[in-house]
Amino acid sequence: MIKASLDRLAQVEAIDIQWKSYELRPLNAPPLPPVQEEDYKQRIAAAWPRTRQTAQVNFGVEMIYHRWGVKSRLAHEGAKFAEEKGLGEAYHAAMYKAHFIEDRDFGDLEILADIAEEVGLDRAEFVAAIENHTYAAEVDQDVAQAQAYGIQGVPATVIEGKYMVSGAQPFEALVDIVRQVKEHEAKQTP
């Protein structure tokens, strides 16, 4: 959802969009205790109608209630591969569609390879990069940077390396925020 707002924002403001990795459920994290997990699932389910409506109204996206607990680590490593090959934007768009609209399990390497191939990446090279964890250090660096910013959820947008905006903001809100940041930064620069 945030992608639609950022794409529109890039058409009216001079911005440089850099996608960064963040794992909501890290690959090696211990599972939540059953009571805590059930409580979390119930809170997500309760918020779902509002989330879905916001996606429809603000972003024109018809979302489905997606699978629970998908591990995103491999998808993030795949994103780094796609970015290096010049297909990062296409890969990100395909991943959003796969997750939020089609409910495909992007924790599954075969599904990731299908998506990579769909956007024009070489399947064998993609699989080799994932299996060899070629981009693991880059993903680790992104996650560490997110932790340093205090990010605890997604989406999160960091502007000028120091202003964080939490949540999927509509285009109009992002325009206002970016312009306020630019004005503030201009006043700070002698």
- Yes or no: say if 58 and 97 are a contact pair by the CB < 8 Å rule: no
**What is the CATH number for 17?**
3.40.30.10
The CA distance from 129 to 141, in Å, is 17
The count of domains in the chain is 1
Per-residue pLDDT reduced to its tens digit, 15-59: 888 888 888 777 666 677 778 878 878 887 888 788 788 878 877
Tokens of 73: 């680590």
130 band by pLDDT with thresholds 50, 70 and 90: very high
116 band by pLDDT with thresholds 50, 70 and 90: very high
Angle between helices 73-84 and 109-118 (to 10 degrees): 30
Over pLDDT 90: what percentage of the chain? 35
Q: Residue 60's domain spans which residues?
A: 2-188
